[in-house]
Amino acid sequence: MKIALLGHGTVGRGVVDIIDSGTGALEVSRILELPQFCNEARMTSNFDDIVEDDEIDAVVEAMGGLEPAHGYIVRALEAGKSVVTSNKAVVAEFFEEFVDAARANGASLFIEATTGGGIPWIAGLMKVRRVDEVSSFSGIMNGTTNYIVDQMSRSGAEFGAVLERAQGLGYAERDPSADIDGIDVKNKTIISASVAFDVACTHDLPVSGIRNLTKADLEFFASRGQSVRLLGKGVQELGSYAVAVEPTAVDARSMEAAVPDNFNLLSCEGATIGPLKFYGQGAGSLPTGNAMVQDLLDLAAGVRPIYDFSRGLAYDPTLLSGDYLIRAAGFEPSGAEPAGAGYHRVPDITAEQARSLLDEALSVDPTAFMAAIG
Amino acid sequence: MKIALLGHGTVGRGVVDIIDSGTGALEVSRILELPQFCNEARMTSNFDDIVEDDEIDAVVEAMGGLEPAHGYIVRALEAGKSVVTSNKAVVAEFFEEFVDAARANGASLFIEATTGGGIPWIAGLMKVRRVDEVSSFSGIMNGTTNYIVDQMSRSGAEFGAVLERAQGLGYAERDPSADIDGIDVKNKTIISASVAFDVACTHDLPVSGIRNLTKADLEFFASRGQSVRLLGKGVQELGSYAVAVEPTAVDARSMEAAVPDNFNLLSCEGATIGPLKFYGQGAGSLPTGNAMVQDLLDLAAGVRPIYDFSRGLAYDPTLLSGDYLIRAAGFEPSGAEPAGAGYHRVPDITAEQARSLLDEALSVDPTAFMAAIG
């Protein structure tokens, strides 16, 4: 099967490395590159060379970003070529458009590498929903923030010091906002919910990150027998669903609290299967490349992922609610009780209300931090 | 697709419940039952009614035990019917014969439910080995023993008391030997190695269980920052492989130590994918039934599992070696050093040597216990 690769960065190189080291049926016949980097016969800087080449069955998009990735994916699908992508931002933004274009043109869309890197999470969700409704999912979906929390917990270092270490190791970008403010997890949560619940998931969900998490916060939660993890989550019930991204207190003896370094742990639950968890490398050249090659092998084997957003599930934020702990100097939420260490416990609010409350708190104390406590 | 069910116990009923509650393409058209329990038109006590029925595409074997399951599976495959089984004992014993019979008759063999219950472990291994060689696997593969160790650790109760509780909950059989002596894990290890390494795995591997584990043992390991779990394990290197089943000391902060109750956690590793872990219900009517229904849906979708034992990997027990801790009153292994609490540390022996040493120790002290310490 001949494929074209868009984007020859970390992930794209992983795909080429794995295919070139021998997976039989696959051949990278074209690579889209900037003109100044085109140093192989198969490289081109003109997307037309790819989309107009009838011998190319599949386009592997590993460019990242919204444009031109979005336009290239749509043009590839419209040309009847299947698309394998690792680009969570573009899939979260244009999932429905891609699904429609794929269906209309007899092409397929493969997205395993967008969420959980090399972990067979999307495949796992699709398998679960063949038999069960997925009643809920949640996950440590971002390796950078897990590395930061894990290192802070283990070494007692402060957020800034660990972030610098993460940047030195290449786990964090120079501008870490997408990771530490939860944007990356937001994209993965939208994708997971779309697959798990068969819905074109809302883009307007409550999202908070761990930018303001301190060593003292972790010590406070540890004194309660808990750790804190940044989780993407979704629930489905009686024709409605809700999603959120938020720091969450987890039992110190839980699987989630045991996730080390920059690993991911993704969980889902169905009526007959019970809880399932999938753990592995959520990023990196070879694990993510592996997921894309697996998608290509599935395509070659005749697997055709089906996304069906026609059920019309309603977004109902009241489905995700619980108690929260908030720390904000000079800010006392109404109905809250002091919980020690500068924290207040806010009982039974939705994740959306919690996000609004955090905004209020941040306007008073820009270092405010809040976590869901289940 | 019409299927026949052999065995209408816990797992078989799970399969029927899931299919009857609506998975579309599947229909249970015959059920093999004892004559005195045949109270539905689709029930028969005569296997000929099933194997000679040309309308039946697949046979679901959930009887357990070696015979008549073995004979029925071979006859079904020889009749060109695909077989889905949850029977770890029969697959571990006759895997190669089943694979040959399936290949010779254009039928397929599906074994997801044999290992890890509802966890997509076999599918996970098969997917990993499409791209990577599986360099190693290990796992908490038996829910009963994990429940016992977890409860002993959490409540400080003794082995016997927790075993009784497990029996009361239906987690443990009245004769718990297959679980606590590692026989169940042995079968699952043989199956996992066969799939992961593409080898007709040896049946002659070192196996020890947790029958002699005490509260004091767990306290001793806890004082070293460790917990103990019964693991099935395998490694592959340079054309050779090794397998073993043994209690193993794991870091108290590891994912393995965090596995609660009767859950399973199965891990594997490949060069490009890195480590992957799969967690879920390793037993039970609905999770195991779910795994069998997933196999049936795969069969209906045209998936044909390929097992290829022709690579000729050699069994080399030296590939699994390390240090061990052994407790046996009145027994001092040569080359060992006292490690406190009645324990001796035996450096750098193979799992096979460790099993022999444990036999020696048990002849002196029938309460002896030993664990690998990695």
User: What string of pLDDT tens digits covers the 374 residues of chain A?
Assistant: 999 999 999 999 999 999 988 767 899 999 999 999 999 999 999 999 999 999 999 999 999 999 999 999 999 999 999 999 999 999 999 999 999 999 999 999 999 999 999 999 999 999 999 999 999 999 999 999 999 999 999 999 999 999 999 999 888 889 999 999 999 999 999 999 999 999 999 999 999 999 999 999 999 999 999 999 999 999 999 999 999 999 999 999 999 999 999 999 999 999 999 999 999 999 999 999 999 999 999 999 999 999 999 999 999 999 999 999 999 999 999 999 999 999 999 999 999 999 999 999 999 999 999 999 96
What confidence score (pLDDT) does residue B25 get? 87
Q: Which residues of chain B have pLDDT under 50?
A: none
Q: CA-CA distance, A144 to A282, in Å (whole number)?
A: 10
Q: In Å, what is the CA distance from A283 to each residue of A79, A83, B272?
A: 30, 20, 12
Q: Does B14 touch chain A (CB under 8 A)?
A: yes
Number of Cβ atoms within 10 Å of the Cβ of A57: 19
Contacts of B255 in chain A (CB under 8 A): 255, 258-259, 279
Q: Does A302 touch chain B (CB under 8 A)?
A: yes
Q: How far is B315 from chain A (nearest CA, A)?
A: 26
How many cross-chain Cβ pairs, A to B, lie less than 8 Å apart? 119
Residues of B labelled catalytic: 188
**Best CA proximity match to A50, nearest among A79, A85, A19:** A79
Name the residue among A14, A120, A272 with its Cβ closest to that of B290. A272
Which residues, 6 or more positions from A266, have their beta carbon under 8 angstroms from its beta carbon?
Answer: A115, A116, A119, A121, A124, A137, A138, A139, A140, A141, A192, A277, A278, A279
Q: In Å, what is the CA distance from B170 to each residue of A273, B115, B175, B284?
A: 18, 19, 12, 10
What confidence score (pLDDT) does residue A171 get? 86
The ipTM (two decimal places) reads 0.97
Q: Does B258 touch chain A (CB under 8 A)?
A: yes
Closest residue of chain B to A20, computed from CA coordinates = B131
Name the residue among B119, B127, B277 with its Cβ closest to that of A294. B127
Q: In Å, what is the CA distance from A49 to each residue of A78, A101, A118?
A: 15, 20, 30
Percent with pLDDT over 70 in chain B? 99
User: To which H or E segment does residue A256 belong?
Assistant: none
User: CA dihedral in degrees (B281, B260, B227, B193; nearest 10)?
Assistant: 10
Q: CA angle, corner B155, sides to B154 and B161, nearest 5?
A: 125
Mutation for A interface: B134, B255, B265, most A CBs within 10 A: B255
**Best CA proximity match to A228, nearest among A158, A160, A140, A115:** A140
Q: Does B279 touch chain A (CB under 8 A)?
A: yes
Which residues, 6 or more positions from A19, have their beta carbon under 8 angstroms from its beta carbon?
Answer: A26, A27, A28, A293, A296
* B278/A275 CB distance under 8 A: no
Cβ atoms A273, A116 nearer than 8 A:
no
Domains and CATH numbers, chain A: 2-110 (3.40.50.720), 121-372 (3.30.360.10)
Residues of A labelled catalytic: 188
Closest residue of chain B to A302, computed from CA coordinates = B302
The region, left, alpha or beta by phi > 0 then psi within -120 to 50, assigned to residue A302 is left
Q: Does the N-terminal peptide bond of residue A260 adopt cis geometry, omega within 30 degrees of 0? A: no
* A293/B131 CB distance under 8 A: yes
Q: Does A23 touch chain B (CB under 8 A)?
A: yes
Cβ atoms B148, B280 nearer than 8 A:
no
Q: Does A282 touch chain B (CB under 8 A)?
A: no
Contacts of A124 in chain B (CB under 8 A): 120
Cβ atoms B99, B44 nearer than 8 A:
no
Mutation for A interface: B23, B129, B272, B285, most A CBs within 10 A: B272
Cβ atoms A84, A295 nearer than 8 A:
yes
**Best CA proximity match to B128, nearest among A63, A123, A49:** A123
Q: CA-CA distance, A82 to A84, in Å (whole number)?
A: 7
Could you give phi then psi for residue A29, rounded to 5 degrees? Answer: -95, -25
Could you give phi then psi for residue B206, rounded to 5 degrees? Answer: -70, 130
Number of Cβ atoms within 10 Å of the Cβ of A160: 10
